Amino acid sequence: MTVEKINPDKLHKPQDNLYAHIVKATGNVTYRIGGQVALTQEGKNCLVGDMAGQIKYCYDQVTWALEAVGLTWKDVVHIYTFTTDMAEYMKHELGIVKHYFDDDPPASTLVEVKQLVDPAWLVEVQADAVGS
């Protein structure tokens, strides 16, 4: 599998190097990791009211999902993040999210929503990855 990150000169520079504008992925299998939220393995809400904690926990869960199919964050081609409070999310994003991508982030979508399925959830993260 190969992944090429492309940031055309005519497009703005990705803010804080947290995403790429275009990702070209060549591989045998596309993996779509469903939305991960602040639920424990037992299905109980956790980190209620803790935006930073929920961001990290959601990204950890994506990490565990990737590991379950033999992939890493380098195989991720697009990350989708939904939050109920953009201002609060942005206070914590850079300090948490950059750790997962190193300096080679995927394409990214970040959206503020009125509410997630459970009002205790402040963040939901899903990912697309390509591997073999």
Domains and CATH numbers, the chain: 2-131 (3.30.1330.40)
Nearest to 61 by CA among 49, 48, 79: 79
Lowest mean pLDDT among 19-33, 74-88, 105-119: 19-33
How does the average pLDDT of the chain come out, rounded?
Answer: 92
Runs of H (alpha helix) within 1-132: 51-68, 86-101
Please give the pLDDT value at position 118.
Answer: 97
Rounded CA-CA distance 50/1 in Å is 37
Rounded CA-CA distance 54/71 in Å is 22
Rounded CA-CA distance 86/98 in Å is 17
Q: Taking the complete model, does pTM exceed 0.75, yes or no?
A: yes
Q: Is the pLDDT of residue 40 over 80?
A: yes
Rounded CA-CA distance 34/54 in Å is 16
Per residue in 97-129, pLDDT (tens digit) is: 988 987 889 999 999 999 999 999 999 999 999
Rounded CA-CA distance 129/74 in Å is 9
CA dihedral for 96, 100, 101, 103, sign (positive or negative): positive
Amino acid present at 81: T
